[in-house]
């Protein structure tokens, strides 16, 4: 298990942590999920992997709370694949994992990619509604890559959009239209009463621009790379919101 903090880019406080799974291969080192998750889905073990991630992440968050490293309002985000959503056992597993960790359901946010929801909106609406009936929230991941319509977006109990990292990177590279896409996405989310989380923030210039556009939250290497559970605990113990809040006011990146 690895974790990456989600940060309020105005105050610098940690508002959430995203659980990220890595495969510690004895020869190849840490293998990222985009390499082994598709294999886990094809071989049918994705359910076991997903349940392990869910239980482990909730237990880690509970431990950090007991240690005074996380406040009760800090959320945990866990990625859920399309194959996991199709498992009728998922709602029960979510309830059991939350209860086992001694946490409330509103601690957990499930992250589902926009493309997953848009493959079959009618079917996904039924599945997602059943899962969210457990009391957990829903974040729409990789927003901007799945071509969802406003009508479709209204059908799901989403409380936050995550702007895909490719758009944030394009802002820094000065690609035509990237800034317009990010600005429009933020305006769209706010008009729907949703929060916005920018993925892949890597430098102060991106942070300054996102602040000016009214983006509330962000995550990325500028704040922290994904860390092991132990290193995440160390990071949380030394976290300075004032330091992070001051980011972006520095001399622009070269």
Q: What is the CATH number of the domain that holds 180?
A: 3.20.20.450
pLDDT per residue as tens digits for the range 151-179 = 667 778 889 999 988 889 888 666 666 68
Q: Give the model's pLDDT for residue 222.
A: 94
Domain-located, residue 52: yes
Question: How far apart, in whole angstroms, are the C-alpha atoms of residue 98 and residue 112?
Answer: 19
Is 62 domain-assigned? yes
pLDDT at 27: 92
What the block records as the tokens of 243 is 């330091």
Number of structural domains the chain divides into: 1
What residues are paired with 197 via a beta bridge?
Answer: 162, 217
Per residue in 187-223, pLDDT tens? 988 988 999 999 999 999 899 999 999 999 999 999 9
Please indicate whether residue 16 or residue 166 has the higher confidence score (pLDDT): 16
Q: Which is higher by pLDDT, 53 or 254?
A: 53
CA distances from 102 to 16, 59, 63, 66 (A): 18, 8, 10, 11
Q: What is the rounded average pLDDT for all residues in the chain? A: 88
Position 150 confidence tier, pLDDT thresholds 50, 70, 90: low
Range(s) of the domain holding residue 142: 2-246
Residue 71 lies in a domain: yes
Residue 102 lies in a domain: yes
Instruction: Specify if 251 maps to a domain.
Output: no
Instruction: Please report whether residue 178 resides in a domain.
Output: yes
Cα diameter, the chain: 52
pTM: 0.90
Cα–Cα distances in angstroms (integers) from residue 45 to residues 34, 94, 119, 223, in the given order = 15, 17, 22, 33
Residue 252 lies in a domain: no
Tell me whether residue 56 is in a domain: yes
The secondary structure element, H or E, covering residue 94 is helix 90-101
């Amino acid at each position: 298990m690895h974790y990456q903090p989600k940060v309020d880019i105005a105050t610098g406080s940690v508002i959430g942590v995203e659980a990220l799974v890595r495969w510690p291969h004895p020869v190849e080192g840490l293998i990222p999920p985009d390499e082994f998750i598709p294999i886990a889905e094809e071989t049918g073990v994705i359910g076991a992997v997903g349940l392990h991630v869910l239980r482990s992440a909730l237990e880690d968050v509970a431990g950090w709370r007991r240690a005074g490293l996380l406040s009760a309002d800090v959320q945990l985000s866990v990625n859920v694949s399309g194959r996991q959503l199709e498992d009728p056992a998922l709602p029960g597993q979510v309830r059991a994992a939350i209860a086992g960790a001694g946490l409330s359901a509103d601690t957990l946010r499930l992250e589902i990619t926009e493309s997953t929801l848009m493959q079959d909106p009618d079917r996904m609406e039924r599945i997602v509604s059943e899962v969210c009936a457990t009391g957990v929230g829903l974040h729409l991941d990789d927003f901007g890559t799945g071509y969802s319509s406003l009508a479709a977006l209204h059908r799901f109990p989403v409380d936050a959009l995550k702007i895909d990292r490719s758009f944030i990177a394009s802002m820094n590279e000065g690609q035509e239209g990237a800034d317009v896409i990010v600005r429009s996405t933020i305006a769209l989310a706010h008009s729907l009463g949703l929060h916005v989380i920018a993925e892949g923030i890597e430098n102060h210039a991106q942070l300054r621009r996102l602040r000016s556009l009214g983006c509330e939250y962000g995550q990325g290497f500028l704040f922290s790379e994904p860390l092991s559970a132990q290193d995440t605990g160390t990071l949380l113990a030394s976290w300075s919101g004032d330091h992070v809040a001051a980011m972006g006011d520095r001399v622009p990146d070269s």
